[in-house]
Amino acid sequence: MSVSTAVSAQSVCAPLPVLGRDVTVPLVTGGEVTYAALDYAASAPALQRVWDDVAAYAPYYGSVHRGAGYLSQLSTDLFENARRTVAEFLDCRPDDQLVFTRSTTDSLNLLARALPAGCQVFVFETEHHASLLPWQDARVSYLDAPRTPGQAVRALERALAERDPHGPALVCVTGASNVTGELWPVRELAAVAHAHGARIVLDAAQLAPHHPVSVRDLDVDWIAFSGHKLYAPFGSGVLAGRADWLRTAEPYLAGGGASRRVTRREDGGVAVEWHESAARHEAGSPNVIGAYAIAAACKALTEAGFETLVARERHLIAKVREGLAEVPEVRVLSLFGDDAPRVGVLSFVVEGWNSSHFAAALSAEYGIGVRDGLFCAHPLVRTLLGSDPGTQGECGAPEAAPGEKSLNAIRVSFGAGTPDEHVERFVTAVRELVADGAKWSYRTEDGRCVPAV
C-alpha cells in the first residue's frame, strides 16, 4: 500500500473525537443503543479537543478588558488571541475586523444594523431565515430559487444590472444550503456583486465546519458563522470583514466596552465617544469562553487537515446517497441536481409517510437523531416540495400551516465526528421502516410526533 493510499484509507476511517460518542439511549421496543447524532446541521457535538481546552482554561476565567488582576489580564490575552486565531482560520485581510457575536443570526442582524442609508439588499429565497430575514429595514430584493449554480449567477447579474448604480448594495448568500447541503458558487457571485459596485456577505454556518473558508480567496466582504455548528457549542458566533460600515454604524448594543469615553453634557444628558474597533459592537462582558472555544475548534480542524476531513465526509455522503437510492419510496431534495457537490447535509421525503412520523420512528426505534420540518428555510422547502399530495402518517408536521400537513421533510446531517456505523444504521433503519412500517404507534403531542404510551 502506498503512503497516499494509506493516508486516504485512514482519513475514511477516523472520525474526530466528540463528546457524546458513547451516550446510550432507550428504545421503545426495549433495550438501549448508542445514540447516532445525525443532526449536525442544527448543532454539532463539541469536539473533545474543544471541551478539554475550555476545561483547562476554566479555573483561570476572569473579566475581559476590565481588570488589572492576573486572571483578568490572562483572559483578555486569551480573548484577543482567539480573535487572531479565528481571523487566520478565515484568511481575513489585514484591515478586516472580527466581531464576536452570539451566532450567525446575531452576526447578520448586526450587519443589517450597520447598513448605510439607502442600501439595497439582494438575497435568494433559498436562504436560511438567519440570512433571509434581518434586512427588513432595508430595500430588499428577493430572488427566486435557481436550479443551477450558473442560473444563480445570471439571476444576480440581472438583478444588480437593474439597480440604482449610485447607491450602496449588499448581496447575502449561503455557502452551503442547510436543506440540501449543496455548495453555492460564492466566488462567482462575489465577482458579479463587485462588478456592479455591490458588497457581499457569506453565511458560512454550514460551510465552515466542512470546508476551508478563505475570505480572500472567495473575495467576500463579510463572513458570518456560529460556534455551535463548528463543534464549539458555547454561545458565540463571528462576523468578520470590512471595517468601514461597522466602524461608522451605531453600536449594535449600547453599554460598557463599546464606549471609549462618556461625559455629562451641560444640558444634563451624556455625550458618548464610541470605540472604532471591534469593541464598538461587543458591549457588555464578552463571552470569553465562547470565543476561546471557537478558536480551539479552528485549531483542531486546521490540524486535522481539511483535505482529510473533506475526503472522509465525501465517503459518508456516498454511503448515505447510495443507501437512499436503493429505496424507491425515498426522494432526496435538490436544487442543483444529484451530481452537485455538497457537504454532509441531505433532506428527503418518504412516499406514504409524514416526515415527522418517520423522524420520530428513527429516534424511538433506532436511536437515531435527525431533524424534520422546514428547517428555518420555509420558502426553500416549499419550493422543493411543491404541491405534493397529503401523505399518510399518524403525526402532523410541527411547522406546517393549516392545510399543509405533508409540507415537511427529513434532514440527516453529519460531520467530522460521525462514525461509519451511524450512517450505516441510518440507511438500514430507512430501508426497514419503508419495507415493514413502524413497530410502535405514535401520536401528536404539543406539536411533536411522539411514541404513544
The catalytic residues are 376
CA separation for the pair 96, 30 (Å, rounded): 55
Q: Quick one: DSSP state of residue 441?
A: -
Which H or E run includes 391? none
E strands, 8-144, where? 24-26, 32-34, 36-37, 97-101, 120-124, 139-143
Distance CA 344, CA 176 (A): 10
What residues have CB less than 8 Å from 326, skipping those under 6 apart? 431
Q: Which grid coordinates belong to 301?
A: 480542524
Q: What are the cell numbers at 287?
A: 463571552
In DSSP notation, 111-152 reads HHHTPPTT-EEEEETTS-HHHHSTTTTSEEEEEPPPSSHHHH
Nearest to 444 by CA among 375, 360, 365, 371: 360
Q: How many CB atoms lie within 10 A of CB 297?
A: 29
Helix (H, G, I), strand (E, B) or coil at 443: strand
Residue 373 sits at φ, ψ, to 5 deg, of 130, -140
Residue 240: DSSP 8-state = E
The C-alpha cell that represents 422 in the structure block: 451511524
Q: How far apart are CA 149 and CA 182, in angstroms?
A: 10
- How many C-beta atoms surround the C-beta of residue 188 within 10 A? 16
Element (H, E) at 173: strand 169-174
SS3 for 286? coil
Query: d(Cα 175, Cα 223) in Å, to the nearest integer?
Result: 10
Q: How far apart are CA 391 and CA 355, in angstroms?
A: 9
Q: Encode 300-338: b = buried (16+ Cβ within 10 Å), e = exposed.
A: bbeebeeebbbebbbebbebbeebbeebebbbbbbbbee
Q: For the chain, what's the residue count?
A: 453
